[in-house]
Structure 1
């Protein structure tokens, strides 16, 4: 049985992962602002220093086998036909950077000792295809935050080398969460075949099953039919 900390556990990919690993017999600790199911829930806003401190205090000296950071926000009307980058406010850009880039750096720092206490610790972050070279979207703040996340994880791998943590970023296209499927149905985003959530789960399982001698950097999951 693994002890897995999932950030962003109340909805989307994070909620699906919390459900899966809990039902598989692992101990899941979920972090989110709204109540999370299938886990021991920590209410916290990790885009704030206080929220990160709350998480660190509540897990105290517990050993964490895996961190899964699945929290992410994007611009209002992002990924819709009506989106206009020039209308993005300073506050919106700032908040996206806090949630998508500053939070994973600071949270990883805060719980690094909890991870290093595990036999084969893993830290997994949900990035995006728009954070890859030459695939940037017109959602400038979101793309920049996900591009920066990849750079931050590369640096964390070096900065925390002594802790023995394996760092991986999963960069998917649109994933078939309830929210994405609803957006497709309502025309918020174009008709498409999203990536099954099972592929995210299988990718995560594969990372967690790797031996302690293996480091896996990026996993990029692209939709075939788009």
Structure 2
């Protein structure tokens, strides 16, 4: 498998890098800086592209030039949120114009520009897959007030829908993962049973997301998962 993970240096992206590849696979991580303590088997080829998608056009061109010519799987895991998001202090009217523009540039503009350049690298695969990591905040009636973050994740679902139709004849499987609040403090090195205790039922371990994606990657080219909603067990919004 030839895999690329955009937004790969920490949290869920790091878990994808460390948890999805088997012997003989190759993986390319994309982030502003490469972490120095990743744990992947010696038999997995690991490459890294350092790029900052806060400058969408420049980064998209740079990543395209450094990316391998062919991919089987692309996981797009990039997104930022408001400084006070998911706290009682969040107020939309307090968000600066500059921070809103930055979120739109990274979460929407960069996504479209980079996917335009990377999707052609998937189309030569016999079973190409694009996985977009969205959020339950982007679902209708999500119960969350974060305006710009919610709008950008709602937009990601629309991007997925449009790409699915654009490349259906090419067999491109496009899946949107609508993820609830994640436990990103406990990486894959922490036992799942222990990681599942953090948050008292309000957080999804990254282990669970990795296991779901493993299932997606094992599907044949005859089917795909269009959308998957994965909230925490005690998330009363769902």
User: Scaled by the length of structure 2, what TM-score is found?
Assistant: 0.84
5+ residue gaps, structure 1, are: 181-189
Cα distance change, pair 92–192 in 1 and its aligned pair in 2 (3 A): farther
2:205 maps to 1:196: yes
* Contact 1:136–1:143 (CA under 8 A) maintained in structure 2: no
User: Scaled by the length of structure 1, what TM-score is found?
Assistant: 0.88
d(CA) in 1 for partners of 2:18 and 2:181?
20
Per-residue CA shift, 1:141-181, capped at 9, x if unaligned?
0000001110111011112234321100101111111189x
Tell me the secondary structure at the aligned position of residue 223 of structure 1: coil
d(CA) in 2 for partners of 1:43 and 1:193?
33
d(CA) in 2 for partners of 1:138 and 1:7?
27
CA RMSD of aligned residues (A): 1.9
2:16 maps to 1:7: no
Select which of 206, 210, 215 maps to 2:219. 210
What's the counterpart of residue 76 of structure 1?
A: 83
d(CA) in 1 for partners of 2:185 and 2:233?
20
5+ residue gaps, structure 2, are: 41-45, 188-198
Length, aligned pairs only: 215
What's the counterpart of residue 167 of structure 1?
A: 174
Alignment of 1:105-144 (within 5 A): 105-144=112-151
What's the counterpart of residue 104 of structure 1?
A: 111
Tell me the secondary structure at the aligned position of residue 14 of structure 2: helix
d(CA) in 2 for partners of 1:31 and 1:5?
8
C-alpha displacement at 1:104, in angstroms?
2.1
Select which of 37, 51, 54 maps to 2:62. 54
Higher share of residues assigned helix:
1
